Structure 1
Amino acid sequence: MDANTIYAVVDIETTGTNVAEGNRMIQFGCVLVQNGEIINHFNTDVNPQTSIPQSIQALTGISEAQVKRAPLFDDVAGTIFSLLSDTVFVAHNVNFDFPFVNAELERVGYPRLDIQAIDTVTLSQILMPTVPSYRLHDLTQYLNIVHDHPHTANDDALVTGELLIVLFKRMLELPIVTLQQMVAEEAELPRDTGEVFKWGLAEVRRHPRSLPDYLYVSHGIALRKTPVITATDDREYTYPRTKKNKLKRFPEHFEWRADQAKMMNLVYRQYTDAQTANQPLIVEAPTGTGKTLGYALPMAYLAQKFDKQVVIATDTVLLQNQLINQTMPLLERMLPFETHAEVVKGNAHYLDLSRFKISLSQTDHSKQTQLIKLRLLVWLTQTATGDLDELHFKNEPPYLDSVYHHGMADLTDTDPFYEDDFLRRLYQRLKYTRFIIVNHAFLIQHADLLGDNFHQPYLVVDEAQHLADYALKTQRQKFDFQVSLSTSRRLMELLDPENEYGLTAATDGLTLNDDLNTFYRWLIEFSRQLRALSDYLTNHFKAQFGGKFTKPYKEIVISEDDWVGFLTQREGLFEQLDILVGKFQDRLAKITDSFYKQSNRWLKSDEELFLRFSHAVNAITDAWDTLSAIRQAPKHEEAGTGSYLYWLTISNDLSHIMVASNLMTVEGFLSQQIYSHFQAPMFTGATLFSSNRSQYLYDQLDLDRAAVKMRRLKSDFDFAAQAKMYISNDAPDIKDEDAYNQYVSHTLIQALSQVNRPTLVLFNSLAAIEAVYERLTDAIHPKQRLILAQGISGSKEKLIKRFMDEDNAVLLGAASFWEGIDLPQDKLQLLVIARLPFDSPDQLETKVQYERMKAKGKNPFYNLSLPKATLRLRQGVGRLIRTRQDYGAVIVLDSRLVSRHYGQTILKTLPASLPTMTGTVPQLLSDMTKFFKKHKSISHDS
């Protein structure tokens, strides 16, 4: 490859994926690219002399009638062979297109093309590392490339050619040091894709240019400079109380929302009035209120007025990103003063530059790891945060375990990247940051750090209904004896003086060797004592495991008194193990320092051995810290006796035991461990209350109802005109799962054939989804409706993306699909609730919670199960109407909503103006058809 190379960018459409099985080409498209320009193009339909599957016709729009008049491949093979000879073949997924074209050529008597071939999917992943999706249509949207006819060969080839030009331009703008590192990795990329970077490096060397101002090089890696933040100004600014003054600050065309303005004033008054400033505030702000700006604007003025910071805790990392990328830029346009916001996440979200640099020197046989390294090298020229979430990894690759940050405690000033460290820079910026955006899990784990370091900042808990769940989840600990014993065995093999391939052999004759031999002796003792502790634990609770095992493992709950009794009985053994683990940590620090001071003498294999050693030691000490947390749980003063659940899991041969603990109630925990570090907190969310009288939310937030100010804003949606709810009264008994799933499937098949609208179906379990999905796909052809299912059709993000790309898809979801997904106006018009969202009473923790409530004289159904289900149903129904322009219908197939007394309690929590109809499924579907006829059609209306 060189600057004058001609790149033949090809796309083909076929009847299937395998030529040997009789699949054939039906369309060929090619554009020729040279010197950054498209210089020629060729495309043709091809008569495959076989039928085209309906799914292919639906996808491509290519009919059998269209190709019947087209030339046979034999007739165009010579032209294609001549066109592609002496070029570099390019395709978006080259490992499909290139072999298929060659197979077709060979089939009709031509030789295989002996040319280089490169892949634009891989190039895009490397050179545009932060793009959420690398499907061709998604990339063209991202780059504003016009792509009118996806899945047609001529249009796909044309946009792939334009994409290639963009990719080459981006590559040639990379710093030479980055390209050098990329080439040095010798990554195994599809076909000849790796040769592109060798050509790019040679080209950049021929035409060198200075490093851009926004980049610098540290220890051989090009990094992006981070903006310097200075202290904000201390002038006084008047909060805009009136509509007139607010409108002056609002951007042009910004929609005025009366309830949003009310919320702004409510928040500002609460914290400027001496009588209420120390009183917690709860604001339920329905969808459409604009609640994030509703609290962010007054909080910005409060922070400026009282020189304080604001910690916003929201439910998920996704919502953190929405706040920083959508709300904060809008807020900055509306304020007369500068403000600054930072997202803060757990340590593992950030890249550790030193660990990454070490990993570059290691040979990896994993193609996935090689690709990730190249992506990271390019990303480091773009990122100012080092937040790995920017890379949108779908499933966390194992490689990231070796390069994520282990926290500030792990960083020393001897680290070569100390000055560049992303986490250190982040915490430096926080001093000058007004808004610190965290998620609930981070708040629970680091409330003391946030509150004490920043002198009791304001606290806003968004999506507050989830805080208790995160509090309980973050206090859940599990220690597996077998895992730690296996890790210590691997470590002993690595340090065994008799192992000629071990770490001790590699350091023979050095003072470092003495430390490793000492470590080896400590490990032998640690392993012996840990095994003894495991045996003692098994024998101590053996009687409670009962008789015959019906499963490979058995779980038993143990009382707090029994657990404390065991801890007391084995106190000496625990102390000895504590001492050994302390020695591990101290000696590892010494060994690491000594090892890297002699970095010039080590082979790559030595560094790999050392990293294995270091990771294994950290795994043991981290696991022991978990067991220490389980031991400390009963001593927490904030939680009363019985606040923690303890359980053991043991294998049927009694050889494998795990001990676990979990906080069972937030009572006393949130108020003392979290809220005490902040000003009186504010809580908000679209769906907080199961009823006006319910105590549930106050219990979940560990609040004294009498001491809290509460306000529920009203939705200004016109539900009478925009929506209708249908409730089935002919469903079978919910306990007969097979009959009920059959009923749900049959009803859905009827509904989807009569109402051709984008549909979301909400379930309680993945098992129910699987049963219904199978019946739906048997009955409905994919050309009619695309059926997507959680647990079957891909990740949540992928499902939502595909659902939004279609006009009338059907999405089956459970759990997280009940809330937190925001579908645009025309992308959801029919919502089906397959079953009321009650928690399964069979879960161990749920059973214990129920028993605790009964012991306090409370009814667990009415005090816990019903409020939780009611909130979840409100959240599910909230998926349907998100703006004043939306319209749609919701059908509840669970007849308990009208047949049981508690159904009325649930219905009262839904908008009073929402029209409701109860009847048999045929009656409901007949009326629903009329409902949709009243509203404007969508492109695929029935």
Structure 2
Amino acid sequence: MTRFAVVDLETTGHTPTKGDKIIEVGIVIVEDGAIIDQYASYVNPNQEIPPFISNLTGITDEEVKDAPSFHEIASVIREKCDNAYFVAHHVQFDLGFLNEAFLQEGLAPLKGKVIDTVELARIFAPRAFGYKLSQLAEYFSITHKHPHRALSDAYVTAELLIKLFEKASQLPFETLEHLMILESKMHSDLYPLLSDWMQEKRYDMEENESIEVYRGIALRKLLEEPQHEHKIKGSFGEFLDTTFGKNGALQTVMQNFEPRESQQEMSESIYAVFHEKKHALIEAETGTGKTLAYLLPSIYYALQEDERVLISTYTTQLQAQLLEKEIPLLKRLFPDMFEAVMIKGKSHYLSLKRFEQEIMKSPAQDNYDVILTKALLLVWLTETATGDVDELQLPSSGQFFWRKINAEAEGIPDPHSPWFHRTFFQKVKRKAQKSNLIITNHALLCADIMNDYQLLPTYKFAIIDEAHHLDKTASKHFGMQVDYVSVQFMLNDLSDLKINFVTKFEEDLLTKAKECTDELFRYLYQIVAHQKNSEKTFNDIGRIQYVFESEQLDDRTKELIKDLASRLIFVLKDLLVLLDKRVETEEDDGKKEDLIRKINQIEKVIQQINIFLINKDTNLVKWIEIEGQGAKNAVYLYCEPMEIGPLLHENFYARKKSVVLTSATLTMKGSFQYLLDRNGLDEKEVETKIIESPFSYKDQVQLLVPSDLPNIKYDTEEDYIANISYAIYELAKITSGRMLVLFTSYQMLKKTYEMLRDFTDQDDFIIIAQGVSSGSRTRLKKNFQSFDQAILLGTSSFWEGVDIPGEDLSAVVIVRLPFEPPNHPVFSTRANALKDQGRNPFMDLALPNAVIRFKQGFGRLIRSSKDRGIVLVCDGRLMKSKYGKYFTDSIPKVPIVYDEIHKLLDHANEWF
């Protein structure tokens, strides 16, 4: 019978070789899928436990002072672990720490088989939303009573192990067989277990009806969904009365549904606009319930008129939320009547053809992350209906591997490919053709517009949610981006194709292309790095930005750039000639396809370098970004149209019957003019409407503005940062953390983070900072929510789209009014163009942009009628400047207190 010793240690620190010691041991024994024994003991480390560890674990010096030393319990631990798999969550840590403790006592280390439940979970639970023990406990509905206590953590790990084994043992034989090939490069010793599970499958005659095996790969069997052809009856007004009214349909399908006049008003407006075939801008303030308010008329109109309606959100996360939360609700309102599909860009979907090619290769050359990615994808294919990578948490090198195996990498799909009818992207496209509602994102919508509507099914009616982002997204798609890493990745990928280079010239060509790429991007790096410090601007992740205007460069620099760019283009064209010849002679269809894909990529890079460095186009804003602390060729080239409005009007609005732009932030002081201009729309041709929030902001929010902060224009930045850090810390003590601090400058964020770290005790608050703490925006938000007393510092991407509802957020600090830096590449170029037209760049560009971002920051705080909180604006311009009223008049009416910081803190304390 196989025995598993599941171990967890609590320790004074992470490094036993530097004197850190064990303070608690928990061991749980698992046999035959059940927990049969457990052991726990404090351990006296004969040294003080750091306050941070005591705070985290609850273990104090007092509790361990009479506990046995490690020497006294070493034999008990060994006895429990002997003749058993050693299992832990992050096994290298627990096993390494324990073995170091054994060695220090002159005892032999443990050398048996090991299992890491982190690795196990990544493989067998690929759709888990995280791999911390607490996240996996939540995912598998395991009760975790005392996190960061050894026995509780070991017990939860043991229960997790049992669940993962149950799941693994149910996998198809073919999946287990592929995992067996990858096993030798895994951290866990899974060979005997995989063998046993495969042996059981050999004699299992029951067929799994939910799985199909094709070309040796097990896939989830997808049933064709029935087609609905119901038309809706009655008027929309009657429908709304029976849906929103008291005891209406929404109350029967939604828990805690509160009828809101604003929601019904918005629905009526959208239906009317669709019916009149007009465009509209609708600002729906927080609390309107805009998602349901636009979905209901969209579905009703689509069914009534037999039209397809497109819904576009800013992020793929918002897309997923619509499909997982709102659409199932509406399916209960419209039973068996409509189809909705979520569609993303091709790079989101797995190419089964490319994956088959990769899985058939020997894993000998793969690094650990690629092995792990292959393993988890094999398991995921037995579960996924979509093939969408957003269901997964890929390891870092797995992201690069995904580039090789997604539908984008496959190029133009081949109808003769054996995988064609099972391709995830083709399936979602086929489903979209039959759907009434298409849910997409701004990036794919803009890519579709750019590609003359070749990517999405035809539609004439659209809702654009979070519409204040549409013009920025369109600018990126009507512009271009090329960077050093992507070009080198493309060239390295060419090496991986194992093309049969015949002559010495051909062999040298690839090397020369890499060298030319390196020389060009290194020179561009030098140009940006050698700017004066006063002229440098930074983006929200700390990259240095530089406007690329060739007229401002000296003749020698211009010539050298042109020379380096031309040499690279020349070599790339030679490569194209070589690849074209290979296509003509290549007999293997798979290799031919790879070559054609590579030719297209190289042609695109040639075009991009030409546009950016050689062609002169005054309608484009061009800029370069570099990693200030990164490699000397970490360079990114960007360009965008000077004006996106006319392009959007011509290519989008003029070709659609009705487009509704909606967001909580479309106006400045009640005017839609800025967003109308950015979208190329004329106020005379569109409907505009503001739907006010049903929330009682005057009771829920206090807006505080300190009158005695240093003036950043005249005082030193250090004084200003010291004062705001003090204000943040003192307010956090009143709100128990739960604070989001929004910056316009990444440099100021870093300095504030360092100052807060200096004078806050780690026992008081966990300080999480974008770009400093590791992880994506979503990961930082989750970490923030998982700590009781946390302060989250964020830059531009945190001003919008981050919902932290309820008691998780009690205060928002806006450090500076969110004006773009005057020398920001895109902003400065557009401002100069407005000047040339005789317009006022401040009133027409800087101020409306800042007000809309200010509204987004303000809107982070109140997400429900029960939320309460404080907005602290550390910028006296809000009260002193002539334009301050534009900000305060653009948000809901709230009490504003303008006073010395210590009085504001007293006021906040009383109010809370």
Normalising TM by the smaller chain, what interval? 0.7 to 0.9
Residues 456 and 677 of structure 1 are in contact (CA less than 8 Å); yes or no, is this contact kept in structure 2?
no
Q: Which residue of 2 aligns with 1:249?
A: 249
Tell me how far 1:69 sits from its aligned partner: 2.6
Once the 2 structures are TM-superposed, how far is the Cα of residue 229 of structure 1 from its aligned partner? 3.3
Question: Structure 2: how far apart are the matches of 1:633 and 1:762?
Answer: 39
- Residue 417 of structure 2 corresponds to 415
Partner of 1:425: 427
Which residue of structure 2 lines up, in the alignment, with residue 381 of structure 1?
382
SS of the residue corresponding to residue 744 of structure 1 reads helix
Shift in alpha-carbon separation, 1:494–1:418, aligned structure 2, 3 A: closer
Task: Give 1:358's aligned residue.
Answer: 357
Residue 714 of structure 1 is matched in structure 2 by: 692
Structure 1 residues 59 and 656: CA distance shift in structure 2, 3 A = closer
Kindly state the Cα deviation for residue 65 of structure 1 after the two structures are TM-superposed.
Answer: 1.2
The 5-angstrom pairing of residues 484-633 of structure 1 reads: 503-504=499-500, 520=506, 556-558=548-550, 587=581, 589-590=583-584, 593-594=587-588, 596=590, 617=599, 619-627=601-609
Indicate yes or no: 2:485 matched with 1:469. no
Change beyond 3 A, Cα 1:271–1:633: farther
1:812 equivalent among 790, 793, 802: 793
Instruction: Provide the secondary structure at the position in 2 that maps to 1:241.
Output: helix
- 1:866–1:62 Cα change, 3 Å: same
Unpaired segments ≥5 residues, structure 1: 496-501, 506-515, 561-565, 567-571, 599-609, 635-640, 933-942
Q: Kindly provide the amino acid, as one letter, of the partner of residue 372 in structure 1.
A: T
How far, CA to CA, are the matches of 2:712 and 2:545 in structure 1? Answer: 30
Q: How far does residue 645 in structure 1 lie from its aligned partner after superposition?
A: 3.1
Q: Secondary structure at the match of 2:549?
A: strand
**Which whole-Å deviations, capped at 9, do the CAs of 1:490-541 have from their partners, x for residues lacking one?**
96x999xxxxxx7437xxxxxxxxxx7799499699979x99x999xx9xx9
Q: Call closer, same or farther: CA 1:155–1:901 in 2, change over 3 Å.
A: same
Distance 1:781 1:225, change over 3 A: same
- The verdict on how the C-alpha distance between 1:581 and 1:669 changes in structure 2, with shifts beyond 3 A counting, is farther
Q: Greater CA deviation, 408-417 or 297-306?
A: 408-417
Aligned to 2:219: 223
Following superposition, the deviation at residue 907 of structure 1 comes to 0.9
Matched-pair contact (CA < 8 Å) for 1:224–1:381: yes
CA distance, structure 2, for counterparts of residue 740 and residue 343 of structure 1 = 47
Question: What does residue range 894-905 of structure 1 map to in structure 2 within 5 Å?
Answer: 894-905=875-886
Deviation at residue 669 of structure 1 after TM alignment: 0.5
SS of equivalent residue, structure 1 residue 111: coil
Point out the more displaced range, 839-848 or 195-204.
195-204
**Is 2:300 the counterpart of 1:301?**
yes
1:770 aligns with 2:750: yes
Report the CA distance shift for 1:484/1:184 in structure 2 as closer, same or farther (over 3 A). closer
8 Å CA contact 1:853, 1:859 repeated in 2: yes
Post-superposition offset of 1:155: 0.8
Displacement of 1:865: 0.7
Q: Which position in structure 1 is the counterpart of 2:842?
A: 861
Aligned to 1:261: 264
Matches of 2:311 and 2:354 in 1, distance apart?
31
Q: Shift of residue 86 of structure 1?
A: 1.1
What is the distance in 2 between the residues matched to 1:98 and 1:439? 46
d(CA) in 2 for partners of 1:573 and 1:87?
Answer: 63
Alignment CA distance shift 1:905-1:487 (3 Å): closer
Cα distance, 1:898 vs structure 2: 0.9
Deviation at residue 306 of structure 1 after TM alignment: 1.2
Q: Is the CA contact (8 Å cut-off) linking 2:810 and 2:861 kept in structure 1? A: yes
Q: CA deviation at 1:672?
A: 1.2
Letter in structure 2 aligned against 1:434: N
- 1:343 maps to 342
Name the Cα RMSD after superposition.
4.0
Contact 1:452 1:677 in 2 (8 A): no
1:644 aligns with 2:644: no
Q: Deviations over 1:430-451 (max 9, x none)?
A: 1111111111111111036658
**Structure 1 residues 421-460: aligned runs within 5 Å:** 421-447=423-449, 450=453, 454-460=457-463
Going from structure 1 to structure 2, the CA distance change for 1:915 and 1:394 (only over 3 Å counts) comes to farther
**Which whole-Å deviations, capped at 9, do the CAs of 1:831-866 have from their partners, x for residues lacking one?**
111111111111222211011000111111111111
State the match for 1:175 in structure 2.
172
**TM superposition shift of 1:22:** 2.3
- Residue 806 of structure 2 is matched in structure 1 by 825
Q: Over alpha carbons, which structure has the higher Rg?
A: 1
> Could you report, residue by residue, the CA deviation over 1:139-172 in whole angstroms, capped at 9, with x for unpaired residues?
1111111111111111111111111110000001
Amino acid at match of 1:431: Q
Give 1:482 deviation, angstroms: 12
User: C-alpha distance in 2, partners of 1:443/1:633?
Assistant: 28
AA aligned to 1:259 is: S
Alignment of 1:778-797 (within 5 A): 778-795=758-775, 796-797=777-778
Q: Percent identity?
A: 31
Q: Does the 8 A contact of 2:513 with 2:572 survive in 1? A: no
2:704 to 723, 726, 738: 726
Decide whether aligned partners of structure 1 residues 287 and 432 sit closer, same or farther in structure 2, where only a CA change above 3 A counts: same
* Match in the other structure for 1:10: 7
Aligned to 1:118: 115
TM-score of the pair, normalised by structure 1 = 0.85
2:725 aligned to 724, 732, 745, which one? 745
Equivalent in the alignment of 1:401? 403
Whole-Å separation in 2 of the counterparts to 1:797 and 1:269 = 37
2:683 is matched by which residue type in structure 1? R
Once the two structures are TM-superposed, the CA of residue 555 in structure 1 deviates from its matched residue by 5.6
Change (3 A) 1:690 1:392: farther
Distance 1:523 1:334, change over 3 A: same
Residue pair 2:143, 2:156 contacting (<8 A) in 1 also: yes
Give the secondary structure class of the aligned counterpart of 1:11: strand
- In the TM superposition, residue 711 of structure 1 has moved relative to its aligned partner by 1.0
Q: Which residue of 1 aligns with 2:860?
A: 879
In structure 2, what is the Cα distance between the partners aligned to 1:782 and 1:366?
37
Aligned residue in 2 for 1:513: none
Quote the residue 2:538 is aligned against. Answer: none
Offset of residue 805 of structure 1: 1.1
Q: Distance in 1 between matches of 2:72 and 2:104?
A: 13
State whether structure 2 residue 823 is matched by structure 1 residue 842: yes
For 1:192-203, what aligned pairs fall within 5 Å after superposition?
192-193=189-190, 195-203=192-200
Check whether the contact 1:45–1:67 (CA below 8 A) recurs between aligned residues: yes
In structure 1, distance between residues paired with 2:204 and 2:635: 62
Residue 789 and residue 630 in structure 1: after superposition, are their counterparts in 2 closer, same or farther (change >3 A)?
closer
Question: Alpha-carbon deviations, 1:732-770, whole Å to 9, x = none?
Answer: 222332222122112223323444341111111221111
Show CA shifts across 1:332-381 (max 9, x none): 11224422222211111111112112212143341111111101111111
For 2:22, the equivalent position in structure 1 comes to: 25
Equivalent-residue separation in structure 2 for 1:648 and 1:584 (angstroms): 31
Aligned twin of 2:373: 372
Alignment match, 2:898: 918
Q: Against the structure 1 CA distance between its residues 455 and 75, is the aligned structure 2 distance closer, same or farther, given a 3 Å change threshold?
A: closer
When residues 522 and 415 of structure 1 are mapped into structure 2, their CA distance, relative to the original with a 3 A threshold, is farther
CA distance in 2, matches of 1:337, 1:663: 45
Identify if the C-alpha distance between structure 1 residues 582 and 424 changes in structure 2 by more than 3 Å, giving closer, same or farther: farther
1:238 positional shift: 2.8
> Is 1:91 the counterpart of 2:88 in the alignment?
yes
Distance in 2 (CA, whole Å) between partners of 1:482 and 1:175 is 39
Take 2:799 and 2:484, find their aligned partners in 1: how far apart are those partners? 37
Q: Paired residue for 2:540?
A: none
Q: How many residues align?
A: 874
The amino acid across from 2:652 in the alignment is: I
Q: Which residue identity is paired with 1:249?
A: A
Please tell me the residue identity of whatever aligns with 1:771. K
Cα distance 1:592–1:445, how it changes in 2: closer, same or farther (>3 A)? farther
Identify the match of residue 70 of structure 1 among 35, 57, 67: 67
Partner Cα separation in structure 1 for residue 269 and residue 425 of structure 2: 36
TM-score by length of 2: 0.88
Distance 1:760 1:753 in 2: 14
For the 8 Å contact 2:355–2:405, the answer to whether it is kept is yes
- Kept after mapping to 1: 8 A contact 2:230/2:337: no
Is residue 735–residue 810 contact of structure 2 (8 Å, CA) maintained in 1?
Answer: no
